[in-house]
Amino acid sequence: MSLGSAPSSPPQPSAPLMSIGEVLAQLRPEFPDTTISKLRFLEAEGLVEPQRTPAGYRKYSRDDVARLRFVLTAQRDQYLPLRVIRDQLAERESSPPARPTLVAVRADAPPPAESRLTRAELLERSGLDEATLLEVERLGLVGPVAPGRYDGEALAVAQAVAGLARYGLEPRHLRAYRASADREVGLFAQLLAPMMRQSDPAGRARAAETARELAGLSQQLHAALLRAGLRETLGR
């Protein structure tokens, strides 16, 4: 080596691959409902493609874990069906951002299921007052999941009620929403029943994904019908 030449730096070792158990241990603190069966289901659905050892064991890279975290976050916070999440992943990977870490973010996302709101927090974050919340609860639009504790769905409903109230709609005007939702739940429950009777975790994972898909399609149909009706009202 000539004088003054800088010594070459040794090659950086690649990050070690992880077993499915190690990946589960990383994800469980943030997504406590995740199981090995759920990870296998997401692989079967094409959301992640871990490497395989000659013996057939799965080995996950850091990018694989980032994809899984993106998928689980989108399911938990945005209730997106897997086909939509798959499209989002494909779009991100076709034009990667400057910082390649996959993160699913929604500004108004409700708190995760394991994070419960107190009644005071629900009132503060939704903008409802105590009297209105009592009326909303009486009508069955919102209810605690545990004594004095509310989940993200309750927050989403309370925020929507508060928003509609600014236009003069009172909780009593919203009873039809509850009745309509109950009818849809009954209809979809019939479709999900055969899947729920399966004892294997993969069958239940498929049922949960089907439920998200049905909910998304229902929202799409409702919004389209509402827009069409309002166009007629506006004479357009």
Domain of residue 32, residue span = 20-94
- Does residue 115 share a domain with residue 90? no
The answer as to whether 63 is a domain residue is yes
Find the CATH number of the domain harbouring 130: 1.10.1660.10
74 shares a domain with 119: no
193: alpha, beta or left? (left if phi > 0; alpha if psi -120 to 50): alpha
At 54-71, the pLDDT tens digits run: 888 999 999 999 999 999
Residue ending a domain, choose from 41, 63, 94: 94
Count how many domains the chain has.
Answer: 2
Cβ contacts of residue 52 below 8 Å, gap of 6+? 58, 59
- The pTM (predicted TM-score) of the whole model is 0.55
Structure tokens at 17: 């691959």
Q: For residues 109 and 80, is the Cβ–Cβ distance under 8 A?
A: no
Are 88 and 57 in contact by the 8 Å Cβ rule? The answer is: no
Q: Is residue 81 domain-shared with residue 30, that is, in the same domain?
A: yes
pLDDT in tens, 118-171: 999 999 999 999 999 999 999 999 999 888 899 888 998 999 999 999 999 999
> Does residue 68 form part of some domain?
yes
Lowest mean pLDDT among 6-15, 156-165, 181-190: 6-15
32 with 61, same domain: the answer is yes
Beta strands in 138-199 (DSSP E): 149-150
Q: What is the pLDDT of residue 50?
A: 94
Contact 47, 88 (CB under 8 A): no
Picking from 137, 159, 175, the residue at the C-terminal end of a domain is 175
Q: What angle do CA 91, 220, 154 make, to 5 degrees?
A: 100
